[in-house]
Chain A
Amino acid sequence: MPRASFAFEALGTHWHIDIEDLPHTLGGGLLLEKIKERLELFEQQYSRFRPTSLISLLAKNGGTAPLPPDGKTLLDHYIAAYRLTDGIVTPLIGQVLVDAGYDASYSLVPKKMTPPPRWEEVLSYSPTTITLERPTQLDFGALGKGYAIDIVDEMIASYGISSRCVEAGGDLIYHSKTAEPLRVGLEHPEDASLAIGVALVNNGYSICGSAGNRRSWGQYHHIINPKTLESPRHILAVWAIAKTTVLADMLTSCLFFVPPQKLLTECAFEYVIMYADHSIEHSPGFQGELFS
């Protein structure tokens, strides 16, 4: 069976997809086109950087809008994250990010920031609708990319492809017919040429990583606590391994703000945390090697 590798830009980062068993009846070029179309649709709906997206229209007008079929899973994960972090991980973080400077034109100049409203005050949804009581800027960065990776992964699987790895900006989900684990280097958040360890990611699992090093400006990086209006500095990097990328992505966002034990009461996952003093903590079941 032929192999294929795709590399392209989408959702503001680099995507890399490896496929081991492309069916002879499916052209690689055609599959790539379909993946790109699907991601374009995702951005048209959920990106706050698109002036006509669902998110941007709700930010301008508020009110009730139809929720696309993939929206419920997105919001279900957000409501779980909101509950587990007592409101720190929230889709209502959009205006905070914009005011900190991470706006549509990347001005990166902080203005006055105010804490966002509570979920119960402004946001509600059903499987087919989303309602904002007043114009509010939503942002789905905390787990949106992970969700998009799952969507693409499922699309690839629907073509009968079983061995594939879908990766975007350091987050990935991995499947292999041979069921051998994938060795994933954990990049040192302060030096991209170094790894702090290697994680073994089993067939059917996702690993997501998050750190404050890249999308960083002045005193902020892309993760901001809406209650303190500061970016967390006590943790340099986190990784989570879970059965879906949306969950692993959600957990890396949460791990910056709550202890892993809290999240383990509801979610099954492995983790690695690197603190500001360079010490590392990992879950007891973490498989891999940490260099120390």
Chain B
Amino acid sequence: MNKPTLARNIAQITAVFAIMLVSISVMGAGCGADKAMEKNETKVENTDTNTTKDSGADEDGDEHADGEHGTTTETHVEIDTTKPTSTTAPATKTPVTAKPATTANKYKDGTYSATGSYNSPAGAEQLPVTVTLKTDTVTDAQVKVVATNQKSKYMQEQFANGFKQYVVGKKLSDINVGKVSSSSLTGMGFNDAIAKIKTQAAVK
């Protein structure tokens, strides 16, 4: 996977969002930070009998309009970081503690904006997009409905309301399922090894 420059990353996100108004699938834009996810193994087995309960079709607020093409150009990029920059040098010579390498970001934390352009049957349209990055992950994204043409405005609103689908999670004990699908529960050997390593690696 290529590592795009930040400006191109925003342009890509804007382009994707603009095309979203006339197409279906949403692609998350997260870049996960390097983080070892060590979890205790829990045995998840649910032997309840199958239910015929109708869980309901998944909500999908996307619109698909044939014949509308999106062209996008990035018109401007505002960079608005949340961290204030320090302009004074330290007065005394104190040793600088380096940030651990594993937590160094590829992209600076902050909020970034750009406006994408596209064409609708009503003419040229704009869509301002703002994303917030924290430890290389998109933690928030907003789009602004600015279209004035009635149909274009409707399409932008539909998109603004539906483009993000973020996971919340419900307790397995609260929902009725016949089975649970997950990553493979590991056998004893692997878990033993993890336990040994944790003991060895623990700061004494």
Q: Which residues of A contact B (CB under 8 A)?
A: 5, 7, 9, 12-14, 16, 18, 105-108, 145, 165, 167-172, 174, 176, 180-200, 207-219, 221, 228, 233-237, 239, 259, 261, 273-282, 284, 286-292
Q: A235: nearest residue on chain B (CB-CB)?
A: B32
Between A and B, 18 residue pairs with Cβ closer than 8 Å are A5-B47, A7-B45, A13-B185, A171-B184, A174-B179, A182-B178, A182-B179, A185-B172, A198-B175, A209-B182, A216-B38, A219-B36, A228-B1, A261-B25, A275-B28, A280-B165, A287-B57, A291-B170
If A185-B46, A290-B165 touch, does A194 touch B171 (CB 8 Å cutoff)? yes
Chain B residues with Cβ below 8 Å from A286 are 58
Complex Cα–Cα for A92 and B189 (A): 23
Contact B171 A185 (CB under 8 A): no
Q: Assess whether B186 is in contact with A195, with CB atoms less than 8 Å apart.
A: no
Any chain A CB within 8 A of the CB of B180? Answer: yes
Q: Which residue of B lies closest to A12 (CB)?
A: B187
Q: In whole angstroms, how far apart are the Cα atoms of A193 and B180 in the complex? A: 11
| B165 touching A215, Cβ below 8 Å | no
B35 interface residue (CB < 8 Å to A): yes
Q: When chains A and B are docked, how far (Å) is the Cα of A183 from the Cα of B37?
A: 27
B26→A190 contact, CB < 8 A:
no
Main secondary structure of the interface of A (DSSP, over half): strand
Across the interface, A291 reaches (CB within 8 A) one of B137, B167, B186, namely: B167
CA distance A184 to B48 in the complex (A): 11
The CA-CA distance from A290 to B35 in the complex, in Å, is: 25
With contact pairs A233-B35, A279-B26 given, residues A171 and B181 touching in the complex (Cβ less than 8 Å): yes
Interface size on B, residues (CB 8 A): 66
B178 and A184 contact, CB distance less than 8 A:
yes
Docked-complex contact A289 and B55, CB < 8 angstroms? yes
Instruction: Take A196-B167, A281-B26 as given contacts and tell me if A214 and B39 are in contact as well, using a CB distance cutoff of 8 Å.
Output: yes
CB within 8 A of B168: which of A108, A184, A291?
A: A291
Which residues of chain B come closer than 8 Å to A197, judged between CB atoms?
58, 167
- In the bound assembly, the distance between CA atoms of A176 and B50 in angstroms comes to 10
> Is B79 in the interface zone, CB < 8 Å from A?
no
Q: List residues 127-145 of chain B with CB under 8 A from any CB of chain A.
A: 137-139
Contact with A along B98-111 (1 / 0, CB 8 A): 00001000000000
A209 with B181: CB separation less than 8 A? yes
Interface-facing stretch out of B67-75, B152-160, B192-200? B192-200
A279–B165 touching, CB < 8 Å: yes
In the assembled complex, which residues on chain A have CB atoms less than 8 Å from the CB atom of B186? 12-13, 214-215
Q: Are B28 and A187 in contact (CB under 8 A)?
A: no
Min distance, Cβ A189 to any Cβ of chain B, angstroms? 7
Q: How far apart sit A78 and B19, CA to CA, in the bound complex (Å)?
A: 34
Q: Which A residue sits closest to B138, measured CB to CB?
A: A277
Query: Which of A186, A259, A281 interacts with B181 by CB under 8 Å?
Result: A186
Contacts of A237 in B (CB 8 A): 183
Contacts of B77 in A (CB 8 A): none
For the complex of A and B, the 4 pairs showing the least CB-CB separation, nearest first, are A276-B32, A277-B30, A169-B184, A275-B28
